[in-house]
Amino acid sequence: MVILGAQAASKTDAIRQAGEVLVTNGCVAPSYVDGMLDRERVLSTYLGNGIAIPHGEIADLRAVHRTGVSVLQLPEGVEWESGERAYLVIGLATNSEEHVPILINLTKAVQDPKIAESLAHAKDPSVIVEYLTQGSEEKEVNG
């Protein structure tokens, strides 16, 4: 569930958009999006290198129908924290451990600015999907 070339007026707008993709695809109830926003007010989900992973709190798990990952690619970015812009907003919804490999791959992207930049400007959604879902083998991002 990748949206390329998106635009967001604010962090709140970006979270809502990422959450709506999860709702539209039947992964979560609409209330989960409010949970994502509440979670962000408690603790920032910005990881660094232009990547944020908004998600709900434990209390919001009852609104998760099935695991889902949405990716909102914002080539122009949106201010997430003072002086920090998010270019990839990855909405997570899960009530299992299915998302752990994706988090491991995101950690690599946060640690390598070249990977983060490539994902933020990929022209093909499959580049992002393949990177996030790859196994433990190293894979170069070309997009």
Domain boundaries, the chain: 2-96
**What is the strand order of the sheet 2-3 is part of?**
2-3, 68-81, 84-93, 51-52, 46-48
Q: Which comes out higher in pLDDT, residue 99 or 119?
A: 119
Using one digit for the tens of pLDDT, what is the confidence trace for 44-80? Answer: 999 999 999 999 988 898 999 998 999 999 999 999 9
User: Which architecture, in CATH terms, is 2-96?
Assistant: 3-Layer(aba) Sandwich (3.40)
Average pLDDT, integer, range 20-43: 96
Q: Is the pLDDT of residue 19 over 70?
A: yes
Residue 142 phi/psi, 5-degree rounding, is: -125, 105
- State percent of the chain over pLDDT 90: 61
Q: pTM here?
A: 0.85
Average pLDDT, integer, range 93-118: 79
